[in-house]
A and B are shown apart, each in its own frame.
Chain A
Amino acid sequence: MEAAVETVYYIILVPMVYVAFAIFFVGTVARLVKIFREPKNPTTLQIFPEKEPKWLFGLYDTFLLPTVRRQMPVFWVFLMFFHVSFLLLIIGHIELFKEFSVFQVIPHEVFLGRGFVGLVLLLCLLFFLFRRFKSPYRELSVPEDYYLLILLFLAVLFGSQMDWARRWYEYGGMTVENYRDYLLSLLYLKPKIPSDIEVSGHSFMLVLHVFFANLFLIFFPFSQAMHSFFSLPMNKLRRG
């Protein structure tokens, strides 16, 4: 491989990952601290009729999106598939570091989901994206909304490619062991790119996956993706 390409690969796979995670963690924590240190609203912001226990209904509103289910059932189905798949995706990545018995309650091969987690995410992302091309959502949208969807789409697409290649086309050039070596070396601050990864015909998939995932992580704390943290406290405000 040419040295220049190798350097680019290295920058994306090592220093950029560190930078992305640093921005993600520091940015997210800073934003949470900033917002939750602000004074509380002097009056209640709840709506009625109220239901007890309020905290339980707050959780219900946050995780099952009953208002969306009532108003836009099709959108709700995609939203639920998307968010559940995203959760599975996070678990899948944690398992790429190490096997945890908690996650193996339902025994499965790493990466979980037989390739369908990524596929479902991609379909949902396409739905969200095309939905925004239509009025009145087009008029409501700002560039940020598209950037986020496109970034996620690209990151998931290249990530899924690697999964699909192994699962559906018996491609054996890159194994879970290779990923584990790479990710653990990053975690222990002794970065090393396994040669299997470097020479594999699929290595550019990995590089592109990591590149777009990095961009997503960098953008995350400054974007509306922060609703993952804000949704619960906001729903609690509404429930009183």
Chain B
Amino acid sequence: MDEKTRDDLLKLFQSKLNEAMRLYLETCTRCGVCTEACHVYASMGQTRYIAAYRHEIVRRIYKKYFKGRGKVWPSVGESKELTEMALQELYDAAYSCTGCRRCMVYCPFGIDTQTLMSIAKLLLVGAHAEPEVLTMLADTSIEKGKSLEFFKESFLTGIKNLEAEVVKKWKMEAGETPIPVDVEGADLLYVALAGAHSIIPAAAIFNAAKENWTLSFFEAVNFGAFVGDPTRTKLILERIINEAKRLRVKEVSICECGTAYRVMKQLSGKQPFKVSSITEAHARYIREGKIKLDKTKIKEPVTYHDPCQIARNGGVIDEPRYILSNLTNDFRDMTPDVRYNWCCGGGGGLVALGEDNLDFRMKSSKVKVDQVKQTGAKILATACENCHSQLSDLNKHYSMGVKVRFLSSMIADALVQ
């Protein structure tokens, strides 16, 4: 690696250093309490997947270039030069970490591995060594934000084609629009994903609840966050913030996508609208009696997989359970509880890499499979696109024999007209 590249990368490193980051970098005592925390380690048993070991890969470079010790007495902390090999190590650490933050629950200091891995991811972006597909997807999202007019027509046609499906789930009066788009002054802006499964059930439920809603032009998923690029993350986020402001909505509701929800909720700053996950909105409709559900529709035992970014990292924990108590009499919660819930193994952009890392994703999530099996449930509900994809892959790979379902689609199917 030449001098110039290294300097540029170190500048990127520097840009990530704030109070919390320095605390995370400087406090680890390598006590190893986090050993059993990572689902990858728990499933595969290799030391390099222990949270503290992942930290050290970043920390060694930090000690070398940002601490006096790294110059005076480099061996004491095993500080390490930033080289091509170091980048490879950073890649292995960052792209085997799903950012579920389960290790944060174990650590006596609460060191956040996901935040530390964001340094690794940013350095990889800087060195053009990140998974290209993630950057490409992020750039597509950004491009869409810039030239909305160009995409508008095809988007509206696509939406029109879904309307019949929505009406099948919830009949409407003549003259009502099943999927309203671009409605100024609507109460709620729903940000979905590019996929009918993310729009049809949600639309039916909004209509059933008589919500004054409108569908966003943009998809919620933030590939910028997956690839760990703060600039792209912000650009993708801002498209939605600007749309919400333009339409003067009171609430932005994010579809079943963990990262999108957490980024919107925690990164959008102070805005004139509130941010909710679609699960929260659904729980509200049931609580306020706006929708009624038929409990007899689901006949098999159900369990729920808490998406890490929505539950442990986003705080939406009671709502899905409340919804499920209105959908079934046979809900079986997983053990251990939500704080210690195992990650599905698909977060942090891993599932978006598709076939490339399928083998790793399957091997590293053995503990999740066992956790689901333990419940004896036949329906595995979840509220996150990534989790859904990963759990479906696991279901197939391990022949788990469960049905993996989105919570919203279960609600839509149980709506009482």
Chain A interfacial positions (CB closer than 8 Å to B): 35-36, 38-45, 47-50, 61, 65, 67-68, 71-72, 75, 135-137, 139-145, 147, 222, 224, 226-227, 230-231, 233-235, 237-238
Contact = CB atoms under 8 A, between A and B. Distances in A.
A136 B32 contact: yes
B248 interface: no
A223 to B, nearest CB: 8
B27 A226 contact: yes
A110 B401 CA distance: 69
Contacts of B23: 35, 230, 233-234, 237
B108 A237 contact: no
B18 A48 contact: no
Given A234-B27, A234-B109, A137 B20 contact: no
Given A67-B108, A222-B69, 4 more contacts: A67-B106, A224-B27, A234-B24, A238-B110
A67 B107 contact: yes
Contacts of A67: 33, 105-108
B20 A41 contact: yes
A137 B50 CA distance: 10
A140 B41 CA distance: 14
B19 A36 contact: yes
Nearest to A146: B76
Task: Identify the 8 closest CB pairs spanning chains A and B, nearest first.
Answer: A238-B110, A48-B315, A41-B20, A38-B19, A43-B266, A142-B78, A140-B30, A139-B47
Interface stretch (B136-144, B162-170, B306-314, B368-376): B306-314
A227 B24 CA distance: 10
Contacts, number: 131
Given A36-B19, A50-B315, A136 B68 contact: no
B317 A48 contact: yes
B47 A136 contact: yes
Interface string B15-51: 0011111111011111111011000000000010010
Given A35-B23, A47-B105, A141 B30 contact: yes
A230 B32 CA distance: 18
B115 interface: yes
Contacts of A144: 76-77
B47 A135 contact: yes
Contacts of A75: 31, 33
B108 A68 contact: yes
Contacts of A142: 30, 56, 76-78
A71 B19 CA distance: 28
B126 to A, nearest CB: 20
